[in-house]
Structures are given as structure tokens and as C-alpha cells.
């Protein structure tokens, strides 16, 4: 896994740009950013064999910067002939108060992507089931994921594709490390429990800061989350702050940590299920 590719080392064809980039900046800095993100997406798809057996993807679109960026990058790769799968975008309207229902349908229609808007009032369920002061994220994400799996099946898709990025993966790792007592994170490729759908994260190598700059330059119509986004003191926020502090003190540590997740050495950990310590024997010298 090579995360720090030189800007000149670009094998992404650049004969023009997808029409959705028509209003994007034409500056050198934006073109470098776009190409870097495209390279990272292609690398993740290659490293984790994301295209194997795939014909149709359901793109989970929340209305946030990450899922907008994911959709734009995948559409660009598809337009260039580098992504031979059919894309359908899906937003799950979870019934949050004041949710601007018109924004996503209008945007998706304007860029010419197949889409489905699904209404399910999971907001009321989360507010009812989660005790006062507890965080909403876990139950909210489970309900959302269950509905997206159902929709993916109904739409004949092979995979649910999500916009989780480098920081999401690192934050999840440290949440499991500090609070769950296990070494685990969001994998870039996962088979669901039923075994009939893949969950893919093509932005696994992409930095959140890059996606934020990309979203601002593209002027995506961002929709804030009024549920988990309204809560303070979340464990994930603490992990985000910790990682930001580490990166400030020691630049490049986030990429180093991500590389470490791809280079596990079971014999140098403490899990006898992963490595047979009982079989280790010394060799006596005669």
C-alpha cells in the first residue's frame, strides 16, 4: 500500500472531466486534489479486489461531504471507462425534523445519476429507544444499514458502497482499542452476515481534509445531521481530536497508522487464536 504517491505519478486518464465537474475550479491545486483522490480510490479498489464479480453498486448517500465526494469520484471513473459497474445512489430519509427533502432529489437529477429516495422514520425509533444522555450513533447506524441492505437487494445490487475514509477507519480502530478491548476497524471490503452483499469503502485511503476541500470546491449541497451530529462528547469526537493532535505533533502519523493496519504480524501479538504459540519449540544444538 503506497499512500504518498507523487503528484506526477498519475495513470488516471484526463481527457476532459465528467460533466458534473463543469463548475469545479480549473486550478492546478484542485486538479491535483481530484487526481490524488481518484488514484487513492483506484488503489483501494485494486488492493481489496472490490470489482471482483461486481455489476451494480448501491451508493449510500447521506448528504454529507464524504458520500457526495464518493459519488462524484465513482461517476468520474465510470465516465472514463475505469469502473465497469452500474451505479445507483440511495438516500435514506430517516425522518429527522427539518430535513430538506428536496435537496438530494434535485441534485441527483441535475447530475444525471440513477437514484432512489427511501423514507423510513428511524429517527423516532432512535429517540425512543436510546436513554437520555446516551449516544445515538450505534442504533441509528444499525437501522440505516439494515434498510440499505434491503434496498440493495431490491435494486439487484451486488454491493453497498459507503463513504468512510481514512480518519473513520483510524477512529474506529482506536475506539475498539480503548473501549472494546480488541484490534478491529472498518474493513475496506466486508461480506455481510447473510453472505449475499459486499460492503465496500473505496475512500479507505482518502484523507478527510482532502474530502472536505473537494466538497467545498465542488459546492456540494451539504445536509447536516440533526441526530448524532447534534451530540457533544461522543467517543468518536475524542478519537478524532487525539488523532489530530498526534498528526500536528508528528506529521504523517495517520498514514503510518493506516499502513500498520495492513501489516499485522500475528506472532507478535497476544491472540492464540491467530497464532499457535503452543507449537513453538526451541531447537537443541547437539
Largest CA distance in the chain: 81
Q: Which fold has domain 29-263?
A: Rossmann fold (3.40.50)
What confidence category does residue 14 fall into, taking pLDDT thresholds of 50, 70 and 90? low
Residue whose grid cell is 498526534: 246
Residue 109 has pLDDT above 60, yes or no: yes
Distance CA 234, CA 8 (A): 40
Beta carbons within 8 Å of 257's beta carbon, 6+ residues apart: 170, 173
Percent of the chain with pLDDT over 90: 69
Residue 46 has pLDDT above 50, yes or no: yes
Distance CA 33, CA 187 (A): 24
Q: 3-class DSSP state for residue 154?
A: helix
Cβ atoms < 10 Å from Cβ of 197: 19
pLDDT higher at 100 or 219:
219
Closest to 73 in 3D by CA, of 201, 209, 224: 201
Q: What is the per-residue pLDDT for 231?
A: 44
DSSP string, 220-246: ------SSGGG-SS-HHHHHHHHHHHH
Distance CA 31, CA 115 (A): 27
Distance CA 157, CA 214 (A): 28
For the chain, which residues make up each domain, given as ranges?
29-263
Q: What is the grid cell recorded at 25?
A: 475550479
- The tens digit of pLDDT for each residue in 248-280 reads 999 999 999 999 999 999 999 999 999 999 999
- The tens digit of pLDDT for each residue in 210-246 reads 999 999 999 999 987 655 544 444 788 899 999 999 9
Q: What is the grid cell recorded at 200?
A: 465496500
Amino acid at each position: 500500500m503506497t499512500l504518498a504517491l507523487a503528484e506526477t505519478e498519475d495513470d488516471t486518464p484526463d481527457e476532459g472531466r465528467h460533466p458534473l465537474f463543469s463548475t469545479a475550479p480549473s486550478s492546478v491545486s484542485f486538479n491535483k486534489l481530484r487526481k490524488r483522490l481518484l488514484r487513492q480510490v483506484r488503489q483501494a479498489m485494486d488492493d481489496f479486489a472490490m470489482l471482483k464479480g461486481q455489476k451494480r453498486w448501491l451508493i449510500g448517500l447521506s448528504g454529507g461531504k464524504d458520500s457526495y465526494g464518493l459519488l462524484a469520484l465513482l461517476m468520474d471513473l465510470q465516465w472514463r471507462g475505469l469502473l465497469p459497474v452500474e451505479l445507483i445512489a440511495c438516500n435514506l430519509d430517516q425522518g429527522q425534523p427539518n430535513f430538506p427533502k428536496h435537496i438530494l432529489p434535485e441534485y441527483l437529477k441535475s447530475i444525471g445519476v440513477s437514484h432512489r429516495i427511501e423514507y423510513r422514520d428511524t429517527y423516532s425509533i432512535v429517540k425512543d429507544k436510546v436513554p437520555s444522555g446516551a449516544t445515538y450513533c450505534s442504533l441509528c447506524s444499525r437501522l440505516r444499514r439494515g434498510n440499505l441492505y434491503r434496498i440493495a437487494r431490491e435494486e439487484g445490487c451486488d454491493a453497498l458502497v459507503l463513504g468512510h475514509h481514512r480518519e473513520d477507519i483510524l477512529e474506529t480502530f482506536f475506539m475498539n482499542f480503548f473501549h472494546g478491548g480488541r484490534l478491529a476497524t472498518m474493513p475496506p471490503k466486508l461480506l455481510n452476515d447473510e453472505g449475499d452483499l459486499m460492503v465496500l469503502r473505496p475512500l479507505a485511503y482518502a484523507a478527510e481534509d482532502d474530502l472536505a476541500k473537494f466538497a467545498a470546491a465542488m459546492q456540494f449541497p451539504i445536509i447536516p445531521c440533526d441526530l448524532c451530529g447534534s451530540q457533544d462528547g461522543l467517543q468518536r469526537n475524542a478519537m478524532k481530536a487525539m488523532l489530530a493532535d498526534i498528526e500536528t505533533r508528528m506529521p504523517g502519523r495517520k498514514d503510518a497508522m493506516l499502513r500498520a493496519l495492513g501489516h499485522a504480524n500475528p506472532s507478535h501479538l497476544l491472540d492464540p487464536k491467530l497464532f499457535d504459540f503452543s507449537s513453538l519449540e526451541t531447537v537443541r544444538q547437539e
